[in-house]
């Protein structure tokens, strides 16, 4: 059964639980004899732990024990597959980065544990950390998620040398931390050799398998539960040290242990967006037609693990040009391992590419939107494949109309409002359509309700609602008669809720499992002489409002009646997986970002007046939560453009603003008039339900659109994020220390 291209605006089915406080988050499960752990973190970025003095801490009320490298249970925290992160879990005395766990205090209350942790004295042998790109040796990673790190077509350098119009600059993005509303938290409970983990993570099945490897126990002995998340943005997509430490503590004391990561500790071992330095060189003819694109990316990783920020990926497919070279290099620095952060690669890469395209527009004296249309790619220029669908031209049109682009005066600084100067900028957005293997079950119950299950996780984006809608639509039931549950490894296997893949993956499985249940129900009815549908070809049966219906004869029967005679319920199940479509089509969601800014030329302050995003991402199951996702990404784009920057001390490798008073994120006053426009799109190739992921694309291009608007207003090109008053006034032009 097909969904409408734009689905209805349905309120969250889990919304009442959230607003009444009955939604149980990972730190809130009530377990008997629950103890609390608190991490002691390193105050150096590189060196060794020489001694740990626990004496004062152990004398405090409620303290049960304190774990360190000498007495911690032995586990395997090494990276055993490309998706693992190396875990710093008290297995040796090496300090590899700032805020690394070096001890763990366990007490009867959180307050006792936290206070005792402040009394633990750690002696270090500190070494000089490598903190700048110039300190580390650049090297080429083997691959990026199984794909080559470099992409070429034609002779990019020769084409650049011959191009009559050229732009060639370096753009940098700083370290950024995710900082979701809910910090990371874990409750671990052992029952013999069986372990139950209540964990704030984006993928319970991935967490289950990693925990099993770490402790050397069968995966079947591990159960992971994540019913609700208060945001993640990629930070909860990997297994981190605190989860293992909680399980180690629970094993050591023989009772359940909760470990909540305190806000300043979120700047330690739970990932971040890595800093990047990106050279983008574009060569074009005088009419703006691209001859070549060169995108050279250097990003940071840790000294003990590897993560690649694929910032050049967007350049390989977005614009048509006969020549292209995209490269990725890494440099090892004494920071923790980076990880995925909303639109990894595309967010940072689009800032560089779309800023360079804006520079090319001014160099060719073209409207920035017209330049992009002249270089529109009707096919993926690198893969040489057709797009499964591409409505980018319509996104440009709709977005430009909504922002009033036709009223833009091209001359820099020519649009004013009183003492302030007004700027308008735009950028293109794109994000790949991903999908992984996923399973689901759908059970039709005797009372006419349905119970649908899958082991995916709702990171707060509305997955409970979306999957309920898919099941209800397929089964022909009202929403209130479908009970969908997720977030538990007792349910069928599902992938991580990341990479904008969950709806495409689990949604396809939910639809197919529901169809499987219906097929079994139809067979029961057609074979039952007591049914009014007896003898009817099952292919001629449809569903409507909880009944099987034969339209040709007007005969029908309620689900309840069929099941009452047949034993009570039928269950459908399905494992949905990608097919050959990835080899036949290039699959991406597309969008266009537009921004209007107001700049005070005396103070250098930038205020966002209006922001419009227009996005095409296949069929939209729930327009209400989809629009919310787009808007959330756009707000994060404001943070990326104007505010967010984790600032390390280049001498010590320590982060200096590890709190929400100095690590700035957008608040209401930072967000001007904003709208996300859904461009209808039909795509029959991407998956069984025709959807593309939408969680990431809202941030892609947002920072570039704002930076381009600032240039239009002031003539000052900001190539190093974030955009600060000092940079607008020309008082801070150099790249940040990390990239120097």
User: Can you give the pLDDT at residue 7?
Assistant: 74
Strands (DSSP E) contained in 478-564 are 482-485, 542-544, 547-550, 555-558
Give the ranges where 591-701 is alpha helix by DSSP (H). 623-638
Is residue 8 very low, low, confident or very high in pLDDT (cuts 50, 70, 90)?
confident
CA distance 45 to 99: 8
Q: What is the pLDDT of residue 84?
A: 86
- Chain position carrying tokens 């900028």: 425
- Counting DSSP H helices and E strands in the chain, the numbers are 17, 30
Q: List pLDDT tens digits, range 190-219.
A: 999 999 999 999 999 999 999 999 999 999
Instruction: Cis check for the bond before 119: say yes or no (omega within 30 of 0).
Output: no
Would the pLDDT of 733 be above 80?
A: no
Q: Are strands 101-107 and 185-191 parallel, antiparallel or unpaired?
A: unpaired
The tens digit of pLDDT for each residue in 462-495 reads 999 999 999 999 999 999 999 999 999 999 999 9
| pLDDT confidence of residue 356 | 98
pLDDT digits (tens, 9 = 90+) for 601-658: 999 999 999 999 999 999 999 999 999 999 999 999 999 999 999 999 999 999 999 9
How do residues 213-240 score in pLDDT, each as one tens digit? 999 999 999 999 999 999 999 999 999 9
Instruction: Give the single-character DSSP code of 264.
Output: G
Alpha carbon distance 442, 503 (integer Å): 16
Exposed/middle/buried for 102, CB within 10 Å: 0-12, 13-18, 19+? buried
pLDDT of residue 143: 92
Q: How much is the pLDDT for 81? A: 76
pLDDT at 20 over 50: yes
Is residue 190 within 8 Å of 246, Cβ to Cβ? no
Q: 696 catalytic, yes or no?
A: yes
Q: How many CA atoms lie within 13 A of 463 on its CB side?
A: 34
Helices (H), 344-442: 346-363, 368-374, 392-403
pLDDT given at position 562: 96
The 8-class DSSP code of residue 642 comes to I
Quickly list DSSP for 107-139: ESSHHHHHHHHHT-EEEEEE-----SGGGSPEE
Instruction: Please tell me the predicted confidence (pLDDT) of residue 734.
Output: 59
**Mean predicted confidence (pLDDT) in 524-548:** 96
Instruction: Render pLDDT for 99-131 as a digit per residue (tens, 0 to 9).
Output: 999 999 999 999 999 999 999 999 999 999 999
CB atoms within 10 A of CB 287: 11
Q: Global pTM? A: 0.96
Residue 76, pLDDT > 80, answer yes
pLDDT at 4: 47
Residue 495 DSSP label: -
Burial letters for 27-42: b for 16+ Cβ neighbours within 10 Å, e otherwise? bebebeebbbbbbbbb
pLDDT attached to residue 595: 98
Q: Is the dihedral of CA 520, 521, 527, 528 positive or negative?
A: positive
**Whether 542 contacts 536, CB under 8 Å:** no
Q: Which of 296, 309, 493, 696 is catalytic?
A: 696
Residue 152's pLDDT is 97
- Which pLDDT belongs to residue 2? 45
Domains defined along the chain, listed by start: 26-43+47-127+183-228+236-267 (3.30.365.10), 276-434+583-739 (3.30.365.10), 436-577 (3.30.365.10)
Residue 537: alpha-carbon gap to chain centroid? 46
Q: Are 538 and 523 in contact (CB under 8 A)?
A: yes
Q: Express each pLDDT in 154-183 by its tens digit.
A: 999 999 999 999 999 999 999 999 999 999
CA trace torsion 576, 579, 584, 587 (10° rounding): 30
Closest to 27 in 3D by CA, of 320, 256, 252: 256
Among 387, 385, 382, residue whose Cα is nearest residue 147: 382
Determine the pLDDT at residue 3: 46
Rounded Cα distance between 234 and 633, Å, is 13
pLDDT tops 50 at residue 5: no
Distance CA 531, CA 533 (A): 5
What confidence tens digit (pLDDT) does each residue in 27-40 have?
999 999 999 999 99
Instruction: Tell me: pLDDT of 82 over 80.
Output: no
Q: In this model, does residue 1 exceed pLDDT 50? A: no
Q: Report the chain's mean pLDDT, rounded to a whole number.
A: 96
Q: Which DSSP category does 643 fall into?
A: I
State the distance between the two ends of the chain, measured CA to CA, in whole angstroms: 56
| Token pair 């911690």 in the structure block, residue | 72
- Whether the predicted pLDDT of 367 surpasses 80: yes
d(CA 601, CA 313): 36
Q: What percent of the chain has pLDDT over 70?
A: 98
Confidence of residue 721 (pLDDT cuts 50, 70, 90): very high
């Amino acid at each position: 059964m097909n969904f409408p291209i734009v689905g209805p605006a349905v309120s969250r089915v889990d919304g009442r639980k959230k607003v009444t406080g009955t939604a149980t988050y990972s730190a809130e499960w009530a377990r008997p004899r629950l103890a609390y752990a608190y991490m002691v973190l390193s105050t150096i970025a590189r060196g060794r732990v020489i001694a740990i003095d626990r004496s004062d801490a152990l004398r405090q009320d409620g303290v049960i024990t304190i774990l360190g490298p000498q007495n911690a249970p032995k586990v395997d925290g090494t990276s055993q597959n490309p998706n693992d992160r190396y875990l710093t879990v008290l297995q040796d005395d090496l300090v590899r980065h700032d805020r690394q766990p070096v001890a763990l205090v366990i007490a009867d209350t959180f307050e006792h544990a936290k206070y005792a942790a402040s009394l633990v004295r750690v002696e270090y042998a500190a070494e000089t950390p490598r903190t700048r790109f110039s300190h580390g040796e650049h090297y080429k990673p083997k691959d990026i998620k199984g794909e080559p790190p470099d992409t070429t077509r034609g002779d990019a350098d020769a084409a650049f040398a011959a191009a009559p119009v050229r732009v060639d600059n370096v753009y940098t993005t700083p370290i950024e931390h995710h900082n979701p509303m809910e910090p990371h938290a874990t409750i671990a409970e052992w029952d013999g050799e069986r372990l139950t983990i209540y964990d704030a993570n984006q993928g319970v099945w991935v967490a289950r398998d990693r925990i099993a490897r770490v402790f050397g126990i069968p995966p079947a002995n591990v159960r992971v539960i994540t019913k609700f998340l208060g945001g993640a943005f990629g930070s909860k997509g990997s297994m981190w040290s605190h989860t293992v430490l909680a399980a180690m503590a629970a094993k050591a004391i023989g009772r359940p242990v909760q470990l909540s990561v305190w806000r300043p500790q979120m700047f330690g071992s739970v990932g971040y967006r890595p800093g990047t330095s990106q050279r983008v060189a574009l060569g074009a003819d005088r009419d703006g037609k691209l001859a070549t694109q060169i995108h050279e990316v250097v990003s940071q990783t840790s000294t003990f693990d590897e993560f690649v920020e694929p910032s050049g990926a967007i350049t390989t497919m977005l614009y048509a040009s006969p020549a292209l070279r995209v490269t990725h290099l890494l440099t090892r620095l004494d920071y923790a391992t980076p990880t995925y952060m909303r639109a990894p690669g595309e967010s940072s890469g689009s800032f560089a590419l779309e800023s360079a395209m804006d520079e090319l527009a001014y160099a060719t004296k073209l409207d920035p939107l017209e330049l992009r249309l002249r270089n529109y790619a009707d096919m993926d220029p690198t893969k040489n494949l057709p797009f499964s669908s591409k409505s980018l031209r319509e996104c440009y049109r709709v977005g430009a109309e909504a922002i009033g682009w036709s009223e833009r005066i091209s001359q820099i600084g020519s649009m004013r409002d009183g003492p302030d100067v007004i700027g308008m900028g735009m950028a293109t957005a794109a994000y790949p359509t991903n999908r992984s293997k996923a399973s689901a079950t759908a059970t039709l119950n005797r009372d006419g309700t349905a119970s649908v299950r899958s082991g995916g996780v709702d990171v707060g984006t509305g997955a409970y609602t979306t999957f309920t809608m898919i099941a209800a639509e397929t089964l022909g039931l009202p929403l209130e008669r479908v009970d969908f549950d997720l977030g538990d490894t007792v349910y069928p296997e599902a992938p991580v809720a990341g990479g904008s893949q969950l709806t495409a993956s689990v949604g396809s499985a939910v639809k197919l499992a529901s169809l499987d249940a219906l097929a079994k129900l139809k067979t029961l009815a057609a074979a039952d002489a007591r049914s009014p549908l007896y003898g009817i070809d099952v292919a001629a049966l449809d569903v409507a409002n909880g009944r099987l219906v034969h339209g040709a004869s007007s005969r029908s029967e309620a689900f309840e009646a069929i099941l009452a005679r047949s034993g009570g319920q039928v269950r459908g199940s399905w494992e949905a997986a990608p097919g050959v479509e990835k080899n036949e089509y290039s699959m991406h969601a597309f969008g266009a970002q537009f921004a209007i800014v107001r700049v005070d030329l005396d103070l250098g302050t930038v205020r966002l007046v209006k922001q419009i995003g227009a996005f095409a991402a296949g069929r939209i199951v729930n327009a209400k939560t989809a629009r919310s996702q787009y808007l959330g990404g756009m707000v994060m784009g404001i943070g990326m453009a104007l505010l967010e920057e984790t600032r390390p001390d280049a001498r010590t490798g320590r982060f200096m603003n590890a709190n929400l008073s100095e690590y700035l994120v957008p608040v209401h006053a930072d967000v001007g008039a904003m709208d996300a426009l859904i461009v209808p799109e039909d795509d029959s190739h991407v998956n069984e339900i025709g959807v593309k992921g939408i969680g990431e694309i809202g941030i892609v291009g947002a920072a570039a659109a704002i930076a381009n608007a600032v240039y239009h207003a002031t003539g000052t090109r900001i190539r190093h994020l974030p955009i600060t008053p000092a940079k607008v006034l020309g008082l801070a032009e150099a790249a940040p220390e990390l990239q120097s």
